[in-house]
């Protein structure tokens, strides 16, 4: 679902000193992906440049159309893995897109019973990531489906039934939290 309205986006820190990232570039990418996904809420992005790890989360401070979407990233989630400490546009598109899809899910009301991102179990996180990955692919981004499938198999087992469940989630739109395994 595409939307022509761009959300207001803030990025912290305003100036990066430990990694070669640019706040306006990140904000532009967030605006582009938010419009593609259909998010018009204000978005606050916080990047922890002190760690090369790649943890990320999305949260909403309410359910209204003006509720702020908070995206938090450790710098590794936005990094060019072939040139460390530099911004990786392709990786950032997937990371930001995934978190914006989670925010959209939370705003939809279908994920009201989902735990906060930082307390999700590994299986819950993996299932939600698979659901987001399929939608990212349909939006024209290029997630590596086999990577998501492998992560899914590691959490839920290797076999035909697990692969069928992954395929169902990957191809789905409009799921609720309760539609994901281990929800």
* pLDDT band for position 3 (cuts 50, 70, 90): very low
pLDDT, mean of residues 132-136? 98
Instruction: Quote the pLDDT of residue 183.
Output: 63
* pLDDT band for position 109 (cuts 50, 70, 90): very high
What is the pairing mode between strands 56-60 and 69-74? antiparallel
For residue 15, what is the DSSP state? S
Cis check: omega of the bond before 118, within 30 degrees of 0: no
Mean pLDDT across the chain: 94
Tell me: pLDDT of 4 over 60: no
Instruction: Quote the pLDDT of residue 1.
Output: 42
For 73-88, how does the pLDDT look when each residue is reduced to its tens digit (9 = 90+)? 999 999 999 999 999 9
Distances (CA, A) of 123 to 65, 97, 151: 30, 20, 9
Instruction: Quote the pLDDT of residue 64.
Output: 74
How many Å apart are CA 62 and CA 116, to the nearest integer?
A: 13
Instruction: Quote the pLDDT of residue 2.
Output: 44
Where are the extended beta strands (E) located within the chain? 9-12, 43-48, 56-60, 69-74
For residue 178, what is the DSSP state? G
pLDDT, mean of residues 91-116? 96
How many Å apart are CA 66 and CA 61, to the nearest integer?
A: 9
For 36-94, how does the pLDDT look when each residue is reduced to its tens digit (9 = 90+)? 999 999 999 999 999 999 999 999 998 777 899 999 999 999 999 999 999 999 999 99
The answer to whether the Cα torsion of 131, 171, 44, 72 is positive or negative is: positive
Contacts of 36 (CB under 8 A, 6+ apart): 2, 97, 139, 140
Helix (H, G, I), strand (E, B) or coil at 179: helix
For 138-160, how does the pLDDT look when each residue is reduced to its tens digit (9 = 90+)? 999 999 999 999 999 999 999 99
Phi, psi for 109 (deg, rounded to 5):
90, -15
Contacts of 38 (CB under 8 A, 6+ apart): 1, 2, 3, 104
């Amino acid at each position: 679902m595409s939307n022509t309205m761009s959300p207001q986006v803030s990025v912290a820190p305003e100036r990066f000193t430990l990694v070669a990232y640019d706040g306006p570039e990140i904000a532009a990418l967030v605006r582009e992906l938010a419009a593609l996904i259909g998010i018009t809420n204000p978005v606050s992005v916080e990047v922890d440049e002190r760690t090369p790890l790649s943890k990320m989360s999305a949260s909403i401070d309410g359910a209204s159309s003006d509720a702020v979407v908070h995206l938090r990233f450790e710098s590794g989630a936005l990094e060019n893995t072939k040139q460390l400490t530099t911004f990786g546009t392709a990786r950032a598109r997937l990371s930001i897109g995934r978190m914006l899809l989670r925010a959209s899910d939370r705003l939809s009301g279908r994920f009201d019973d989902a735990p906060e991102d930082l307390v999700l179990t590994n299986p819950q996180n993996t299932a939600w990531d698979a659901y987001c990955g399929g939608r990212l692919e349909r939006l024209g981004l290029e997630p590596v489906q086999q990577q998501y499938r492998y992560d899914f198999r590691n959490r839920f087992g290797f076999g035909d039934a697990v692969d069928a469940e992954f395929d169902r989630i990957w191809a789905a739109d409009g799921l609720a939290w309760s539609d994901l395994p281990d929800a």
